Amino acid sequence: MSADDQFDDERMASPLRRRLLGGLAAAPLMALGLPRTSFAQVPPTAKVNTTGLAVTDTTVTVGQLHSATGTMAISETGSIQAERLAIEQINAMGGVLGRKINIIQEDGASDWPTYAEKSKKLLENDHVAAVFGCWTSASRKAVLPVFEKDNGLLYYPTFYEGLEQSKNVFYTGQEATQQILWALDWASNTKKAKTFFLIGSDYIWPRTSNKIARRHIEQHLHAKVVGEEYYPLGTTEFNSLMNKIKLARPDCIFATVVGGSNVAFYKQLKAAGITPQKQFLLTLSVTEDEVLGIGGENFAGYYSSMKYFQSLDNDNNKKFVSAFKARYGAKSVIGDVTQAAYLGPWIWKAACERAGSFDVNKVVAASKDIELANAPQGYAKVDVNHHLWSRSLIGEGQADGQFKVVASSPEPIHPDPFPKGYM
């Protein structure tokens, strides 16, 4: 089965689910608080596409670039699904500038050179109007030179370390000041943590995130880092780490392990007798998607710092969860990055219609201050720095695989990808 067939509506959705999806498809744009744009007459292609993008009188083509295979597939499958759902809903409303969205899907295969190769294909061969994709910072860093050289447009959904801003990228996940610093303050103030053990996968995001975390712990919280360890992506052997944790006896394990390695990490914590009843653990990298593999019984009692949890109690999130489950099955779950991926196509649609064009420069210029008044996560707004204003949340893992929200920033936090003193 091809990648497109895998996510094709006719193959995956039963007639009942298609009817349910059809009933929900018209809701999200208004629910997100975006203005509805009416086109009594579809604007001519020559007006909305002056740079040779894949736009016809009836269609506009975009790309998807995620890992459908490899160690990162456990985390990225939800992003693929959410972007598909948003695009299906947008198409059900008439598309963008009167044009239905076509998708070309490419598999980054959890391999950073493959991401660069596939991004070049999408931009230079397929001439897509936008790309929704990447997950790890390593994949984003691999494609960034291609997008900047070819003036492409990437909507990147993952929480990340910050320290980046590009004209060609919109970052719909949290950056460090919203996720890392706020969470560490909570750990210090609420859990009284004074010693921290930093653990991460061995690539850009965990190393940079922990560098920022260490600086905040030592210089702002006046606390101590008692250990720092890294393991290659895909690692399933953490037994020696368990002994180091027991010897260090940290108040807080601060974890940035990603992908399939999470399954082994949390199961081995439990096997070693390191449980939430004895050990406070705060992670930046476990959402409902990862808990599916880890098992709720192995994560219950630990904490995640995110801006979205499936359990959020607001009307728009309930509609979103219902539509997602109608499309992908009652047992499907929605994590932080999945929801952030869902926002990407809606932000792109709003910017194109505000600009009256698919041209990248015009879309970028029109994106500032686009507001999602009632996104599933709650209020969000596109900042001039291409990041989103959003609230920060702490969720406690539950045995059923969901999270109980135990803390929330009082207001949306201004994104600051270059925080003073942390670079």
Half-sphere exposure of 172 (CA within 13 A, CB side): 32
The residue among 73 and 25 whose pLDDT is bigger is: 73
- Token pair, residue 394, equals 């702490």
Mean pLDDT of all residues in 111-120: 98
394 SS3 class: strand
Report the length, in residues, of the chain. 423
| Predicted TM-score (pTM) of this structure | 0.89
Write out pLDDT tens, residues 46-103. 999 999 999 999 999 999 999 999 999 988 999 999 999 999 999 999 999 999 999 9
What confidence category does residue 422 fall into, taking pLDDT thresholds of 50, 70 and 90?
confident
pLDDT at 170 > cutoff 60 = yes
Write out pLDDT tens, residues 244-267. 999 999 999 999 999 889 999 999
Residue-level pLDDT at 6: 39
Of 263, 327, 254, 228, nearest in space to 23 by CA? 327
Round to whole Å and give the CA distance between 290 and 66.
16
Single-letter code of the amino acid located at 158: T
Residue-level pLDDT at 33: 59
Contact 214, 198 (CB under 8 A): yes
Helices (H) and strands (E) in the chain, counts: 18, 15
Q: Domain 50-174+315-390 maps to which CATH number in 3.40.50.2300, 3.30.1280.10, 3.20.20.70, 3.40.50.1000?
A: 3.40.50.2300
Round to whole Å and give the CA distance between 213 and 209.
6
Mean pLDDT of all residues in 132-156: 97
- Token pair, residue 122, equals 């999408």
* Residue 184 dihedral angles phi and psi, to the nearest 5°: -65, -40
Round to whole Å and give the CA distance between 168 and 128.
14
* Residue 26 dihedral angles phi and psi, to the nearest 5°: -80, -10
Q: Which residues pair with 63 in a beta bridge?
A: 104, 131
Of 181, 110, 168, nearest in space to 392 by CA? 181
Residue-level pLDDT at 28: 52
Of 181, 175, 119, 177, nearest in space to 150 by CA? 119
Residue-level pLDDT at 373: 86
Write out pLDDT tens, residues 203-221. 999 999 999 999 999 999 9
Give the sheet arrangement for strand 378-382, strand by strand: 371-375, 378-382, 388-389
Look at 8-17, 58-67, 190-199, 362-371 and tell me which has the smallest mean pLDDT. 8-17
Chain region(s) in the chain for CATH 3.40.50.2300 = 50-174+315-390, 177-313+395-408
Write out pLDDT tens, residues 282-331. 999 999 999 999 999 999 999 999 999 999 999 999 999 999 999 999 99
CATH of the domain spanning 177-313+395-408:
3.40.50.2300
Q: Which residues pair with 170 in a beta bridge?
A: 155
The residue among 408 and 32 whose pLDDT is bigger is: 408
Give the sheet arrangement for strand 154-156, strand by strand: 100-107, 59-66, 131-133, 154-156, 169-171
